[in-house]
Structures are given as C-alpha cells and as structure tokens.
C-alpha cells in the first residue's frame, strides 16, 4: 500500500471527477457538490453532522419531492432525522400509503378485496440506513447524492422509483458518530497517524456493537428506527449500508452465506438473493469490478439491523464496500489483495466474477459503487413494484397461520417469574418490535397443563411469529458450519425467565396487552420487598436508597450522630461504593456496555484512565475498580507510540500494575472481565489455569452461545437461582492450578472461591460449541481474597451486549456484596 502526494490526488480527481453518471439531471444547484463546494467524496474531506443536516434541510426546502422529519434525539442529543422522498402525489398521500403498508404487513382479519386494494393502492416502502458505523464514512455523502438524484432526476430508475415507492432515507443512523469521526479525522490530517482509530466509541455505549442492538433495543437509535419501521411505515425492503476491510473484495452484496436460519421466510430469502444477483449484473455493466456474493456474512445470526427485519418479513439487504483510510485514499497492488473466498489464489469464481485488479481506492470509489447498487436496487423495485408488496403479504399470511406443520402455537411468560424487571423489559421490547403480547383473562390450559390468570401469551398467530420464535427458542446450529457472529441468543433464557413453549391448542380467554403495564399477577408486592434480589428493579431501588443515604449524610452533617442514626434505617447506613471503570484509549466496546449496564441499574461510577491508576494510592479514590474485557497487551501497553497522539499512548505499564496490586492489598475490590483476567491472574499470581487456553484443548471454540452456569454456595450468591444462563463468546473457564504449576508460576497461596461454575453436564443451551466438555464443571466466576481486598474474576461478560439480563445480578452482587 503506497501513499500519494496531495497534488497527484487532486489531478486524479479532476481527471476522473463526475464519472459516476453520464446523465446530468436537473436542479444541479441543489446538488451536494454545489452545497459542499467540492467534489463528492473528495479525498481528505469528511462532512460533519451540521453540514449533513444543513444539506438535507436545504434539499427539502427546494424540492416538493422531499420531506425532512426530526423523529427524535440521539444518545448525545443531536437531531435524529429521516428524509422521506417520493413523488409529490405520494407525499400528499402518506397516511393512506402507511395504512396499505400496515395491511400488507398484517393481513389478518381483512377481506380479499381489502387485501387486493392494499396492494393496488400501496407503494413500496424502502428504508435506507447509511453510516451506522461511523468510521465507514462514505455512505454519508453517498446518501446526500442519492437523495438529490431521487428527488430531482427525470431519468429512470430515479423518476420511476419516486412514483412507485416511498424512500425513507436516514441521513445517518448514527449522527453522533458522524461528528466524532469527522472531528477526529480533521485533527489528525497530515499527521503520521492520520488514519489512527478513535480513542472513544463512535456510539457512546456500543461503538460497532450498535449493529448488535436491534432486538435488545438498549440504545435510542435502535429504538427510534424500530418505532419507524414496526409502528409507522411497515417497509417491505431495507438497505443497510456498510464498509468492510481494505484488502478483500471491493463490494459485498447478498446472497448471504450459509447457514440459513429457518425463521426467515423463503420468499424473503429469495427476495434478498434476487436483489443481490441483479445488482451484480447491473454493477458489472457499470464497470464495478471486485463484487462478491455468499461470503463472510451468514444468514443465521440475529440482532443486526438487517437481520431483525428479515424475521419480520422485510427484505434486509446488507452491502459492504472495501474501505479506504477514512477519506484518505489507499493504493493496493494486486499481490496485496486477499481472495474473498479464502482461497490461496486471488482469482475469479462464480461468486466473484470479475476480480478488481488493484490500484487506488478512495472514498469517491466507494460512493460510486454504492450509487451503482442503489440504481440497481431502485430499478429492481420500480420495474415490478407490486411483486414486493404481494410477496411480503404472502410471507405475513404464512407467518400468522397455525397449521399441522407449525412448530408451536405460542410462548407463555408465567406469573411465577421473580425478576419482574426482566419481564417488564422483555415485554417492552417485544412491543417495540411490533410483537403482540396478550394477557390471559382466565386460567389457561395448554399441553395438559394449567396456567394462572395473568399469564402473558406471545402467540404465533401473528405476522411477527418468525421473530418471536427466533428470540425465544433454543438454537441448534447446523453441523459443519461456522458462525459469522453468535450462534445462539435465546432472550428468554438470557433474561432468566421461565417461558413455556405451547405446542398443542391453547384454551382460555386472552386480551391484547396494550400498555407496558403487566397484569396484577406479576406485581407481587411481598416479593418485591424481600431481600432476595431476584428482581432487577430491586437493584435500582437499592442503589437509589444508597445514593439518597449518601446525600442525606452530607446534608445533615451538622446534626448529631444520634439524630442521623434515627433517620437512617439499617439499609441506608451503607453508602454507595465509589466505583471506577477502567477505560483504555482503545475505545473498548465492552467498557461501553459495562457503562450502559451500570447506568441502567443506576450504579454511579467514574471512568478511570491510565494516568489516574498510575498516580497510585487508589484506595483514596475508589472502593471498587472494574476492568472490562480488554486484552492483557492493551491493559499493560495500551496504544503504540507514534500510532496516535502522545497523550493517548501507553497502558498501565509497571507503575499502573503495581498500583492495582497495592489497591487490592489496601482493601480495594477489583472486578475483572474475561480477556483482562489473564493479566490480573499473572499480576497477582492467582493459582488458576484457563482450560480453554491449554494446549490439549486447542480445538475448543465458541464464538457466541448461551451456556448454563451452576451457582455455588456462598454469601455473595445467596438467594440466586440454582442455575443461570449467560453468553459464552470466546470466554474463559478455570481450574485450580496443581501444586507443581503453583510452584512453577510462583503463585501466591490465596483463598480462591468458585461462585459460579459451568454446568457439569449439558452446559450448552443454545448455539454451538466445539468440545463443550472442556469447560463443563470448570469455574466461570471466582472470588479471590488477597491482603485486605479481593478480586472477582468473571470468565465471561455478565452484561454481554446488554442481552444477558439474568447475569446483571452477578455484576451487582460482585460490586455491592461482601
Ligand atoms: Zn459496518
């Protein structure tokens, strides 16, 4: 890869400028280039959110084909916008089009005439979501050009698309990140570390994992998009625009690779494949080489922006363009390119029909490819608009019907569940996903069992049943396949809830639950008052009480100790621990998820940087320090000198490591997650061995599955259920070191207590794991006493992607309980 000088790049730009389209549409004064006063996707230039918002506002003011709506506020308070683009007639008719879309999405109870009319009157609704991953920069400017073409061009497919469809184009799915990346890149331009990665997450809590949040809906952006899609617009197709690494194919389009999740209707899969295959042909006509299909991205995992809609009978399209270095171009020799099919030789295949030959690759190229894809997609939609409406309706009808071939009738959430906080959260998110939840108004009978009045019923007689099944069932991953992301995610298990699958007929009276309010049977006040801490809401109220006690103690400091004592009940004499969360400069997603979980449970914390730790005497400032899932190298050495600004380089080094050791000896509590554990085990010479890293277990692997842990007797775990489900994703499992190992490693004789072990049998609940016996019976969560303090080692992440509600309890206990 070679860099070029600025001058030669500008010459190249002048030479190849405007190569995207031969036709020159009207209204060139509204074109993004006129607004930006530079060429589109120009080298070394990125737009910030103000500019993006300004452009879309300007376009909407000028064009009767564009309506800009502010639909909410982002995590950091920016405007969350949608640009609605269609013919003026369609825009006048939005309500009727939304109603037709809704009928198509949910045909239950409608006559054949009504259904036919919905297809006749309906328009295809297409959602486009650029730059959710803010470092995948090109789609932000691509979206601006696409909006202009669609709004103004009199040529097909832009003009026909306006007539046949309504496009909901989000200027960005992550406006906060647009600013963070633009500001960071501008600051580093022309420095040796111009393409250095950001020191903070581009979405405050999730970073890249924002594309793992579309069923758990922890973040505002995912919530807003779900509301638009499942409660307002009911789209038939959505296109999620991404970028990938630099050295492989130039552009990925579906078909996705195997395995295929059977909770996606075949018609939806066929639609995804048809759109992708047509795009390969159209883009090849437009001289886009290096397009690949059927690699990397599987059609199995759930949680992503394109995968949740697919289970809602929406065609979810993902495209991935090769990246440059933000807006800095790169040069790749052909020998530097890697084969996207994983073969030794970089060459053509039926999935990779015209390999790219290497050369310069820049933001403008990515935009050209993405616009070529958009043109193909719009052509495919507008040539046969009714086909997409009819296919969605057919899939929705099929999903709503129960017949002999159906796997099940419903899922029940029983009233004996003790974690009411988890039930509320699950019901709330199901409703946000457009899934109907019923409450039973009488005792109900199913599969020769009886359930109390108030039981929640999630019926499979709804168009969303594929998503319902995918969220509730335990997954069996097909043999011989590899997962792109996680292979199992079963939310009911991860939320720690008793959920019953109903196979036979369900008898009883049920009524739609139309609010977030659970039936009375769930609000057992006696249970809520116990100190068993099985209800996540109890942690929130406990933390609030402690926070108030602290505030109270401060405000009444003038009063005598007796007066204070009278007013503070026993619980409130304890104050909130001073919690620190170690935050490396590598923008750790796990640190973000940890922060999100602490805030969700209302546990105050401070972020702790390397310099704070290295200053020593940590016990003066903190009672508890949490180290998230960060690699030992990252903890110890941080970012390399010269790779980023000087004040962001380095890790804890020896000084910080010794300060951590001193903190524990002084009585501090250190809580360590997954991949940071080896660093602490080594530092504090703890006699534990990670069995997943042992030579004879090299073939053990698990990219992300739901496993079962058995709770061990201990005062910290007192009151927990006997078993808990959580996510195992490249996690750890320990055994006690043998005396020989202890001697060789000079481990310290210390008290190691297992609080949670992997189940000795049937450890795997959902997903896949190669050789589960390696971890069976081994330690998952250990408590180690050293000096006056203690260490909690979690071999897994108890707040994984915010999905694992049941193991939130473990995190809170490790922080608050002795
Ligand atoms: Zn991406």
Q: How far apart are CA 285 and CA 220, in angstroms?
A: 40
pLDDT per position as a tens digit, 354-364:
999 999 999 99
| Class of domain 577-694+730-757+778-816 (CATH, top level) | alpha beta
Distance 177 CA to ligand 1 centre (A): 13
Q: How far apart are CA 584 and CA 691, in angstroms?
A: 27
Distance 132 CA to ligand 1 centre (A): 7
User: Considering the entire predicted model, what is its pTM?
Assistant: 0.94
pLDDT at position 571 over 70: no
Predicted local confidence at residue 20, as pLDDT? 33
pLDDT at position 532 over 70: no
- Binning pLDDT at 50, 70 and 90, where does residue 404 land? confident
> Bigger pLDDT: 566 or 375?
375
Q: Are the CB atoms for 56 and 83 separated by under 8 Å?
A: yes
Residue 448 in tokens:
């020769």
Distance 59 CA to ligand 1 centre (A): 27
Distance 323 CA to ligand 1 centre (A): 10
Q: Interior CA angle at 400 toward 395 and 405, to 5°?
A: 90
pLDDT per position as a tens digit, 405-442:
788 999 999 999 999 999 999 999 999 999 999 999 99
pLDDT per position as a tens digit, 762-799:
999 999 999 999 999 999 999 999 999 999 999 999 99
Distance 134 CA to ligand 1 centre (A): 8
Distance 326 CA to ligand 1 centre (A): 13
Distance 206 CA to ligand 1 centre (A): 13
Distance 613 CA to ligand 1 centre (A): 33
| Class of domain 6-400 (CATH, top level) | alpha beta
Distance 484 CA to ligand 1 centre (A): 14
Predicted local confidence at residue 564, as pLDDT? 43
- Report CA-CA distances (Å) from 284 to 280, 376, 496, 530, 595: 6, 11, 50, 66, 46
Distance 171 CA to ligand 1 centre (A): 16
Residue 255: DSSP 8-state? S
Distance 303 CA to ligand 1 centre (A): 14
Close Cβ partners of 633 (under 8 Å, ≥ 6 residues apart): 651
List % helix, strand, coil for the chain (3-state, nearest 5).
Answer: 40, 20, 40
Distance 775 CA to ligand 1 centre (A): 32
Distance 212 CA to ligand 1 centre (A): 11
6-400 against 577-694+730-757+778-816: fold identical: no
Distance 319 CA to ligand 1 centre (A): 9
Task: Tell me the three state secondary structure of residue 449.
Answer: strand
pLDDT at position 802 over 90: yes
Predicted local confidence at residue 402, as pLDDT? 83
pLDDT at position 575 over 90: no
Distance 577 CA to ligand 1 centre (A): 38
- Binning pLDDT at 50, 70 and 90, where does residue 286 land? very high
Q: Which residues surround ligand 1, an ion (CB under 5 A)?
A: 133, 136, 242
Close Cβ partners of 135 (under 8 Å, ≥ 6 residues apart): 177, 181, 197, 198, 202, 243, 323, 326
Distance 209 CA to ligand 1 centre (A): 9
Distance 517 CA to ligand 1 centre (A): 36
Q: Are the CB atoms for 814 and 792 separated by under 8 Å?
A: yes
Distance 573 CA to ligand 1 centre (A): 48
- Binning pLDDT at 50, 70 and 90, where does residue 25 land? very low
Predicted local confidence at residue 23, as pLDDT? 36
- Break the chain into its structural domains and give their ranges: 6-400, 410-523, 577-694+730-757+778-816
Average pLDDT, the chain: 93
Tell me the backbone φ, ψ of residue 360, rounded to 5 degrees. -75, 145
Rg of the chain over CA atoms, in angstroms? 28
Of 245-254, 472-481, 524-533, the one with minimum mean pLDDT is 524-533
């Amino acid at each position: 890869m070679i860099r070029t000088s600025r001058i030669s790049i500008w010459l190249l730009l002048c030479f190849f400028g405007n190569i995207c389209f031969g036709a020159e549409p009207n209204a060139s004064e509204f074109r993004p280039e006129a607004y930006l006063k530079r060429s589109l996707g120009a080298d070394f230039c990125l737009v910030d959110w103000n500019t993006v918002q300004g452009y879309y506002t300007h376009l909407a003011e000028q064009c009767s084909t564009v309506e800009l709506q502010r639909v909410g506020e982002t995590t950091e308070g920016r405007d969350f916008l949608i640009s609605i683009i269609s013919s003026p007639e369609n825009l006048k008719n939005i309500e009727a089009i939304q109603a037709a879309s809704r009928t198509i999405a949910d045909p239950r109870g409608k006559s054949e005439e009504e259904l036919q009319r919905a297809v006749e009157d309906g328009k295809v609704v297409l959602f486009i979501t650029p730059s959710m991953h803010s470092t995948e920069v090109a789609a932000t400017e691509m979206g601006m050009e696409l909006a202009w073409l669609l709004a103004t061009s009199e040529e097909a497919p832009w003009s026909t698309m306006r007539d046949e469809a309504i496009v909901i184009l989000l200027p960005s799915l992550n406006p906060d990140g647009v600013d963070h990346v633009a500001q960071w890149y501008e600051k580093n331009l022309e420095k040796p570390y111009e393409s250095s990665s950001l020191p903070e997450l581009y979405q405050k809590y999730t970073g890249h994992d924002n594309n793992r949040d579309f069923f758990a809906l922890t973040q505002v952006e995912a919530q807003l998009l779900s509301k638009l899609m499942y409660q307002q617009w009911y789209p038939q197709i959505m296109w999620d625009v991404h970028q990938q690494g630099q050295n492989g194919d130039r552009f990925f389009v579906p078909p996705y690779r195997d395995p295929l999740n059977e909770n996606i209707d075949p018609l939806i899969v066929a639609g995804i494949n048809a759109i992708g295959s047509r795009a390969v042909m159209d883009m090849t006509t437009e001289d886009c080489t290096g397009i690949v299909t059927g690699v990397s991205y599987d059609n199995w995992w759930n949680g992503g922006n394109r995968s949740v809609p697919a289970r809602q009978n929406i065609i979810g399209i993902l495209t991935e363009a090769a990246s440059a270095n933000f807006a800095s171009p790169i040069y790749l020799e052909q020998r530097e390119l890697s084969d996207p099919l994983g073969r030794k030789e970089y060459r053509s295949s039926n999935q990779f029909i015209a390999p790219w030959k290497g050369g310069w690759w820049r933001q403008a190229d990515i935009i050209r490819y993405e616009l070529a894809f958009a043109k193909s997609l719009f052509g495919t939609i507008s040539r046969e608009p009714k086909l997409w409406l009819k296919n969605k309706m057919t899939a929705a009808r099929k999903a709503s019907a129960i017949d002999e071939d159906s796997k099940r009738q419903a899922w029940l959430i029983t009233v004996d569940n003790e974690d009411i906080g988890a039930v509320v959260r699950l019901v709330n998110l199901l409703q946000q996903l457009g899934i109907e939840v019923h409450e039973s108004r009488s005792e109900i009978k199913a599969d020769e069992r009886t359930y109390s009045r108030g039981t929640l019923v999630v019926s499979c007689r709804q168009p969303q049943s594929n998503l319902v099944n995918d969220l509730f069932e335990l997954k069996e991953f097909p043999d011989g396949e590899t997962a792109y992301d996680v292979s199992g995610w079963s939310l009911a298990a991860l939320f720690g809830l008793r959920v019953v699958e109903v196979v036979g007929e369900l008898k009883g009276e049920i009524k739609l639950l139309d609010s977030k309010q659970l039936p009375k049977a769930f609000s057992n006040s006696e249970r809520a008052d116990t100190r068993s801490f099985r209800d996540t809401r109890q942690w929130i109220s406990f933390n609030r009480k402690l926070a108030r006690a602290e505030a109270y103690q401060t405000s009444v400091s003038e009063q005598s100790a007796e007066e204070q004592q009278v007013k503070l009940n026993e619980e409130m004499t304890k104050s909130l621990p001073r919690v620190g969360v170690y935050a490396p400069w590598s923008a750790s997603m796990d640190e973000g998820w940890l922060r999100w979980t602490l805030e969700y449970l209302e546990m105050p914390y401070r972020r702790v940087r390397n310099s704070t730790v290295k200053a020593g005497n940590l016990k003066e400032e903190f009672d508890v320090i949490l180290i998230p899932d960060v690699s030992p190298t990252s903890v110890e050495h941080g970012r390399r000198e010269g790779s980023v600004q000087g004040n962001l380089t380095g890790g804890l080094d020896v000084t910080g490591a010794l300060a951590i050791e001193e903190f524990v000896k002084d009585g501090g509590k250190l809580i360590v997650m997954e991949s940071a554990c080896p660093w602490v085990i080594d530092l504090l010479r703890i006699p534990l061995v990670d069995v997943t890293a042992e030579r004879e277990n090299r073939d053990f692997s698990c990219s992300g599955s739901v496993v079962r842990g058995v709770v061990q007797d201990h005062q910290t775990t007192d009151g927990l259920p006997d078993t808990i489900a959580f996510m195992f994703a490249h996690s750890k499992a320990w055994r006690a070191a043998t005396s020989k190992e202890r001697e060789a490693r000079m481990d310290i004789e210390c008290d190691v207590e297992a609080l949670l072990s992997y189940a000795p049998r049937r450890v795997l609940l959902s997903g896949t794991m190669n050789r589960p016996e390696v971890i069976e019976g081994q330690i998952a969560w250990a408590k180690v006493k050293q000096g006056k303090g203690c260490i909690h080692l979690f071999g897994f992440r108890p707040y994984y992607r915010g999905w694992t509600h049941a193991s939130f309890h473990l995190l809170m206990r490790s922080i608050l309980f002795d």
